[in-house]
Chain A
Amino acid sequence: MPAQVITITSGKGGVGKTTAVANLAVGLALEGAKVVCIDGDIGLRNLDVILGLENRIVYDIVDVIEGRCRLKQAMIRDKKLPELYLIPAAQTRDKNAVSPSDMNRLIKDLRNDYDFVLIDSPAGIERGFKNAIAAADRVLVITNPEISAVRDADRVIGILEAEEKGPGALIINRLNPALVKNHNMLSAEDVLDLLAVELVGVVPEDENVIISSNRGAPVAFDAKSRAGQAFRNIAKRLRGETVPFLDLDHTGGLWQQFQRLTGRK
């Protein structure tokens, strides 16, 4: 079966696109899928750092497109997962070095040999974003439960619809159940109410995400982290499995659990 090409995008910067790509790639590879992730943020590459592969980069995506190396030479194998590869972005070039048709050609060469191609999109809705969605079969829009991020996600979903890439599916990242409970943060329902698209996952706020990103080992490797669990669940859903959503309220401590048991909440 040819690879499913999935682009992760957001409009707004800093909501967790790169973290999501790294973790979904790890989650899919842990499930036994053959995965390639592509850093589409040319000029501001990050995905290599989060995967802990930056010191192995010899060639990058622009080298492939401009014919300075073969595709296989630019594909870096993960340290732990032999079926996970990264095609890094160029750090010294900008988005104009790649065109949507270049992306289509590159991905055509990957389709037959892998199960998933994940593309990390840059922030914004300009050239780099257009490149990132050009070859996508499916687009995941990631947002935080904040008004500004949700509005940008809405804009991106509108553009995806206009470009006939489907409405996209949504990941809500960095939800803090305690803040939601006190009405200090938009809930997943509030976000869905506005965006009205399919939800593929809600990832709770978790400091392990930052710790593991800095270590170069995505949190999806961490069996105990709730964010890691959420990302692994999304990976399973991308493979077509039905996985129930995490009960995020559970982090609320004994008192809430007691309330739940006694039916008061």
Chain B
Amino acid sequence: MSETNSLIQIKGLRDGLLVSLDDAPWEDQRVALLARVDRQPAFFQGARLALDVASQVLRVNELVELRDRLSERGISLWAVISESPTTEKTAQLLGLATRISKPRPEENRQYAVEDLGEETALFLNRTLRSGTRIEFSGHVVVMGDVNPGAEIIAEGNVIVWGRLRGMVHAGAKGNRNAVICALDLSPTQLRIAEEVSAVLRPRENPEPEIARINKDGKLQAELWSPG
């Protein structure tokens, strides 16, 4: 038992329990976690669980399986934190949070606004359907549509090579220079920094547009023109 214990660390957070796993094989970790839960069912009953899986690469099936097992025990999995982009993407697909309010030490760094130019971008080569929420500390590029009911929250710019019909928040940490571009800009709502714009008039024949905060401090969209 002491052996399985060493794999798993559990601590309390403001919004639930944080379970940290290490890089041991996933199957062992999973079994150890469930065994731990089964030993103290009363403690875990009704808990909200955030899982820190270190650099494990997890696929949808594996996470779904674990989520089901946990939910059978009255535990809801609400976040999966990982260093692996694959796992992070999987968690996002399942609508799980990928960050918890207490940031990981390496994310503690505060980026100055100018630094964003060199910041990384998240490239999503798919359509974001209703219920998907993407949060990213850099720029977000979507090759596909953003459907109504989907949300993107980026600290940098957001580029959509497709139809933007959901909600996008660019410059989420206050960068008023952030922009949002889309081939068809018909969002439910756009936000840049603290500015919010409700529905932009839909166009009969959509053209590429770019939304930014103008000189008067208003969020405004204009047609893209070359040069």
Contact = CB atoms under 8 A, between A and B. Distances in A.
Contacts of B58: none
A130 B64 CA distance: 10
Nearest to B92: A162
A147 B71 CA distance: 31
A194 interface: yes
Interface in B112-141: 127-132
Given A99-B72, A151-B149, A154-B149, A162 B93 contact: yes
Contacts, number: 45
B68 A100 contact: yes
Contacts of B94: 162
A196 B148 contact: no
A54 B147 CA distance: 41
Interface string B135-170: 000000000010111000000000000000100000
B147 A154 contact: yes
Interface string A159-175: 10111100000000000
A162 B64 CA distance: 9
B129 A163 contact: no
A99 B145 CA distance: 34
Interface residues of B, number: 20
B60 A152 contact: no
Contacts of A155: 129-131, 149
Contacts of A147: 148
Interface in A212-248: none
Interface in A123-171: 127, 130, 147, 151-152, 154-155, 157-159, 161-164
Interface in B58-76: 60-61, 64, 68, 71-72
Given A154-B148, A157-B129, A161-B129, 5 more contacts: A127-B71, A151-B147, A152-B130, A154-B131, A164-B61
Interface of A: 99-100, 127, 130, 147, 151-152, 154-155, 157-159, 161-164, 194, 196
25 contacts: A99-B68, A99-B72, A100-B68, A151-B130, A151-B147, A151-B148, A151-B149, A154-B130, A154-B131, A154-B149, A155-B129, A155-B130, A155-B131, A157-B129, A158-B128, A161-B93, A162-B93, A162-B95, A163-B60, A164-B60, A164-B61, A194-B148, A194-B165, A196-B127, A196-B145
